[in-house]
Amino acid sequence: MKPKALILQAHGTNRDFDVMDALTLAGADPIGVPLNELRNHKRLFRDFQLIVLPGGFSYADALGAGKLLALDLISYFADEIFAFVESGKPVIGICNGFQALVKSGILPSPNERGNEGEGVTLTFNTQGHFECRWVMLKPVSQKCIWTKGLDESITCPIAHGEGNFQTSEAFPLSSFLEQDQIALTYVRADGSPANGYYPANPNGSLLDIAGVCNPQGNVLGLMPHPENHIFDYQHPRHTRGETGNSGLKLFENGVKYTAQV
């Protein structure tokens, strides 16, 4: 019995089918669910083993990318989502999904219900515009069930204008680091740290942070799109014979973990 994955579809979601293909390859049964079907209880969060908030431009990024989707999540589904998260089941928010998870307070630490976490946000890229380019990611966190045990870096595209992970002085950065919550960082092609340099770090994120997880490790949010590198022919240099470093293992981790919850 394949684990059922809920792929949340909001107005403006555009990478639902991309991530469904990745999850199918990873061994799950992905089901696209429009937000309204959850609102009218046609579908229930608790019937699923895994939740995905896919990429896109939900609500046209009005009031900030992911803001209105975050309001939807907290206004209509706060109890259900927090229960799902507390149960330890895997959740992944990609790009717009990550933005929604941060702006609803689910990431990095779901202790303030409904408020964007104190002093953390995803803001405008330093270069001041949307950018689409391939990057290299280093899996870091061994607490995060999605990145645990991944020893190979992942190359995949970013496609965002508001991916700049920043914290203010109010944010408990040291405990965040102690809790192994940095899930992935941007690195150069040779694997060395980007150290803030563009374009290896494509948006100016603090500490080259590409993705973070909650203290429990079951919720991952990341700006890049590993779901867009699951086939050899997607690699930018496949015609030069370069393959590998795909995003598939990250999804396989999440799917495998559903058996343990």
Partner 1 sequence: MVVKYNNKAGLDLSNEFLHEGIPQRQLKAIIERPAKPAFIRFSVSPSAPEFASQTLLKLLAHPNIASKAAVIRIYDHEVQGGTVVKPLTGVEDDAPSDATVLKPIRTKSAKGIVLSNGINPEYGKQDAYRMAMAVIDEAVRNAVAVGADPERIAILDNFCWGDPLRAETLGSLTEAARGCHEAALLFRTPFISGKDSLNNEYLGADGQRHAIPPTLLISAIGLIDDVHRAVTMDLKEAGNEVYLVGKFQPVFGGSHFSKITSQAINESVPDVHEITPKVYKALHQAILSNLIRSAHDLSEGGLAVAAAEMCIGGRLGMKIESNMRDDAVRVLFGESTGTLLVEVRKRDKEKILSMFNGLPCERIGIVVENENLSVSIHGFDILNMSLSDLITAWNTTL
Is beta strand 50-53 parallel, antiparallel or unpaired with respect to 91-94?
Answer: parallel
Contact flag: residue 128 with partner 1 (CB under 8 A): no
Residues of 193-224 as b/e, b for ≥16 C-beta within 10 angstroms? ebeeeeebbbbbbebbbbbbbbbbbbbbbbbb
Among 129, 169, 191, 259, binds partner 1 (CB under 8 A): 129
Q: Residue 62: which H helix or E strand, with range?
A: none
Closer to partner 1 by Cβ: residue 19 or 101: 19
User: Is residue 132 involved in binding partner 1 (CB under 8 A)?
Assistant: yes
Q: What is the dihedral of CA 172, 150, 226, 238, to 10 degrees?
A: 140
Is 237 among the residues that bind partner 1 (CB under 8 A)? yes
Eight-class DSSP state of 117? P
Q: Which of 134, 171, 176, 251 binds partner 1 (CB under 8 A)?
A: 134
Buried (b) or exposed (e) across 141-158, using 16+ Cβ within 10 A? bebbbbbbebeebbbbbb
- Catalytic annotation on 95? yes
Count of residues binding partner 1 (CB under 8 A)?
28
- Contact map string, positions 11 to 50, toward partner 1, x by CB under 8 A: ---xx-xx--x-----------------------------
Examine residue 131 and tell whether it contacts partner 1 (CB under 8 A). yes
User: x/- binding map, residues 205-234, to partner 1, per CB under 8 A?
Assistant: --------------------x-xxxxxxxx
What's the alpha-carbon Rg for the chain, to the nearest Å?
A: 17
The residue among 215, 52, 224 whose CA lies nearest residue 141 is 215
DSSP 159-182: EESS-EEEE-TTS-HHHHHHTT-E
Name which of 21 and 29 has its Cβ closer to partner 1. 21
Cα–Cα distance for residue pair 258/239, rounded to 1 Å: 36
User: Considering the complex, what minimum distance in angstroms separates the CB of residue 163 from partner 1?
Assistant: 13
Smallest distance from partner 1 to CB 14, Å: 6
Of the candidates 131, 162, 227, 252, the residue annotated as catalytic is: 227
Give yes or no: 225 in active site: yes
Angle at alpha carbon of residue 60, lines to 54 and 66, rounded to 5°? 50
Return the residue of 41, 174, 240, 260 that touches partner 1, per CB under 8 A.
240
Q: Which of 25, 31, 159, 206 binds partner 1 (CB under 8 A)?
A: 159
Q: Is 191 in the site for partner 1 (CB under 8 A)?
A: no
Q: How far apart are CA 60 and CA 82, in angstroms?
A: 26
State which of residues 93, 117, 157, 163 lies at the interface with partner 1 (CB under 8 A): 157
Which parts of this chain interact with partner 1 (CB under 8 A)? 14-15, 17-18, 21, 55, 129-134, 157, 159, 225, 227-234, 236-240
Which residues are catalytic, by number?
Answer: 95, 225, 227
